[in-house]
Amino acid sequence: MVVPFIELIENPQFFLVGWSLATFALALIISIYFLRDEIAAFFQSDQKNIGNIVLWSVLGSFLVIITQWVAVTIETFVFGIKPGSQNTMDLMNVARQAPIFIVIISVLGPILEELVFRKAIFGSLHKRMNFFFAALLSGVIFAAVHQDFSHLLIYTAMGMVFAFLYVETKRIIVPIIAHMAINTFAVIVQFSVDPEQIEQQLKQLEQLQLIITGGY
């Protein structure tokens, strides 16, 4: 069904989705334009190392998952931060209303974020400082942009892993694939589990946290 233009304007949800798709797509096109020589060189190369790219993408995805788990554990049991990302919940609420928004979460978003935060920001910082500080600083910026400051550790840690994948493989496509895989996995989990069940699991984790920390 085609949604009338007036409804797109009056409905904030439709307008948000349409505007987001347009801006992400435009930003991606601009980024690809500036990287056109590097992209052309990759496809013209006789040594693309596709197998190595696939291997590191898979390993990188698992590494990001492990890093997330460790960061969540530290936030929960050391800093007393409740699990569950408001940023993720907000995005998924939009995706449930307009499934096309998943394209941004799983495809456009990861590509653009890796080009900006790893290729541009981390790449520039790494020329001026060692890996750790460049990855840490770009990771903090990556976390801040998501505006989920209670989970700053998780986003920063993930950003540092993506930077590691970029440096280790010298291919920005590797952290892009890993990022896309993680986001797609999160979407599948969110869509396959009832929101009330997620809320119940979060409450159980909170109760476990209170038991372990003695209520502090």
- Residue 146 catalytic? yes
33: left (phi over 0), alpha (psi -120 to 50) or beta: alpha
Q: How far is CA 62 from the centre of its chain?
A: 14
Residues 75, 113, 114, 179: which is the catalytic one? 113
Main-chain phi, psi angles of 158, to 5 degrees: -65, -45
> Cβ of 122: how many Cβ atoms within 10 Å?
28
Residues with Cβ < 8 Å from 39, sequence gap 6 or more? 32
Q: Is 151 a catalytic residue?
A: no
Q: Closest by alpha carbon to 162, among 171, 149, 150?
A: 171
Q: How far apart are CA 40 and CA 45, in angstroms?
A: 9
The Cα 99–Cα 67 span in angstroms is 28
Which of 93, 64, 37 has the alpha carbon at shortest distance from 176? 64
Catalytic residue (one of 75, 114, 126, 146)? 146
Token pair listed for 167 = 């440096």
Which amino acid is present at 57?
A: S
Report yes or no: 108 and 28 within 8 Å, Cβ to Cβ. Answer: yes
| Distance (Å, whole) CA 78 – CA 59 | 28
- What positions carry a catalytic annotation? 113, 146
